[in-house]
Structure 1
Amino acid sequence: MNIEGSIALVTGGNRGIGRHFVEQLLERGAAKVYAAARDPRAVDVPGAVPLALDITDPDAVAAAVATATDLTLLVNNAGVTTGADLVTGELTAIKQEFDTNFYGPLAMVRAFAPVLARNGGGGILNVNSRMSWLAYPGVNAYAASKAAAWSMTNGVRLELAGQGTQVTGLYMSSTDTDMMAAWDIEKNDPADVVRAALDGLEAGAPEVLADQETKEAKAALAT
């Protein structure tokens, strides 16, 4: 889809990868970018439209739909990791990860699909993870929620094809954001990840694998 002239909404648009999405969408000529955050006062990108939104709150999602009636591009970026494992982790933490990483983005897709249809189809970009395909002690709840998000992305792509909505999934390895601050490992530059994502979106790609580690992890599924 064409980003120039689009009307976009980025969840978690106040920091990290979300802030880079807001900046780069505006740089590429988006006519309007709603930067959604639980506290819209945290949005500081010039030209962005702050929008109060908690994707786990049905009333907040409904309010966002009532505001962004002109939307043509939804970027489901908001996410969380609690460090919980599946057997020993607190069940409330596991549920929090699924609420934010799976049910929240799904709620946004369900709510905005009719809006996108009325506005010509548009597109959805779901920010997922290489952990969609891996298990690792200390992040297994996150991995499970991202595996569900991968499956959801593939499912809604098929379901929304008839209305002309493009659905692209973004997958990446460790990226230099607040979420990964405690991990002393090599990390992607979030600006590079977002650039690859938006290039793929404009090219009509169903999936964007943002780095070599992610490409290798996807290829290894065949083994």
Structure 2
Amino acid sequence: MEIQGCVALVTGGNRGIGEGFVDELLAQGAAKIYVAARKLADGEAAAARDARLVPIALDVTDEGQVAAAAELAGDVNLLVNNAGAFSMQTLLGAPSLAALRAEIETNYIGLVSMVRAFAPVLKANGGGCVVNVLSAGAIVSVPGMGGYSPSKFAARAASDALRAELAPQGTHVAALIVGSVDTRMAAHVTHVKKSSPQDIGKAGLLAARHSINEHDTDAHAISVRAHLARDPGGLAAAMAQAVQGGK
């Protein structure tokens, strides 16, 4: 996957990790980048800084908008599934199932919906690559993350299945395991050093360029995977203690 000269679409591209991807795509010479945001005004504001940025209104949970985006952005050869939802509620502590449904709809079903819609586009443009922005919560169940962690587990499994299905058309699927990043979504995290959104964008484009299946993007993600390999029982106990009010 060549980044220079590529045409990319980044969901949730107006802020956070999505904006980090946009920054890195610009720096590495992408020809055009569709900046997708739920509100067109947010996309327009984010796209105003460079002529290569094209704003697009896109809610990944709306199949009609997803289909319209695939029709509009028919020149895409790099799809970055970054849009995400995180309610900061536990599975039993949430007042209803609404937050869980939103997380599953956005983080898992929305991701699959985007790949289904853009698979023919990617094929027509030579194969290209899909980059799925996941989480360390996709390899370790984090009770405090409620439906977010299970949704990312599902998205990780979907990434493996989609990679197998898309391989015959020359489309690679890269899954990113992301730790703590300096974004609004992670504002509550204070106990670990956070990476910048641009660092995650750079790691994601590296995974696309070198056809890496699953890539730990930052020091925190690497440490979580190492802890899981070294002491899975201890990590599970620590997660349980944390949700029960301990450190």
Alignment correspondent of 1:14: 14
1:56 is aligned to 2:81: no
For residue 194 of structure 2, the aligned residue among 174, 187, 201 is 187
State the superposition RMSD in angstroms: 1.5
Alignment of 1:61-140 (within 5 A): 61-89=66-94, 90-140=96-146
Deviations 1:35-58 (A, max 9, x none): 000112213242310001010001
Structure 2's unaligned 5+ residue stretches are 233-247
User: Following the alignment from structure 2 to structure 1, what is the Cα–Cα distance between the partners of residues 218 and 20?
Assistant: 17
- SS of the residue corresponding to residue 147 of structure 2 reads helix
Deviation at 1:183, TM superposition (A): 2.4
Count of equivalent residues: 223
Alignment correspondent of 1:209: 216
TM-score by length of 1: 0.95
Deviations 1:145-195 (A, max 9, x none): 000011011110111000000110111111110101122232112211211
Task: Answer whether contact 1:133 1:221 (CA < 8 A) is retained.
Answer: no
- Letter of the 1:8 partner, please give it: A
- SS of the residue corresponding to residue 176 of structure 2 reads strand
Q: Which region of structure 1 is more displaced relative to structure 2, 203-212 or 168-177?
A: 203-212
- SS of the residue corresponding to residue 147 of structure 1 reads helix
- Structure 1 runs (4+) greater than 4 angstroms displaced: none
User: Following the alignment from structure 1 to structure 2, what is the Cα–Cα distance between the partners of residues 136 and 24?
Assistant: 30
Structure 1's unaligned 5+ residue stretches are none
Task: Answer whether contact 1:33 1:49 (CA < 8 A) is retained.
Answer: yes
The percentage of aligned residue pairs carrying the same residue is 44
- Letter of the 1:178 partner, please give it: R
Task: Answer whether contact 2:8 2:79 (CA < 8 A) is retained.
Answer: yes
Alignment correspondent of 1:150: 156
- Letter of the 2:30 partner, please give it: A
- Letter of the 2:6 partner, please give it: S
- Letter of the 2:29 partner, please give it: G
Distance 1:212 1:184, change over 3 A: closer
- SS of the residue corresponding to residue 144 of structure 2 reads coil
For residue 171 of structure 2, the aligned residue among 158, 165, 169 is 165
User: Following the alignment from structure 1 to structure 2, what is the Cα–Cα distance between the partners of residues 199 and 101?
Assistant: 22
The structure that has the greater radius of gyration is 2
Q: Which region of structure 1 is more displaced relative to structure 2, 96-105 or 206-215?
A: 206-215
Deviation at 1:140, TM superposition (A): 2.7
User: Following the alignment from structure 2 to structure 1, what is the Cα–Cα distance between the partners of residues 29 and 77?
Assistant: 13
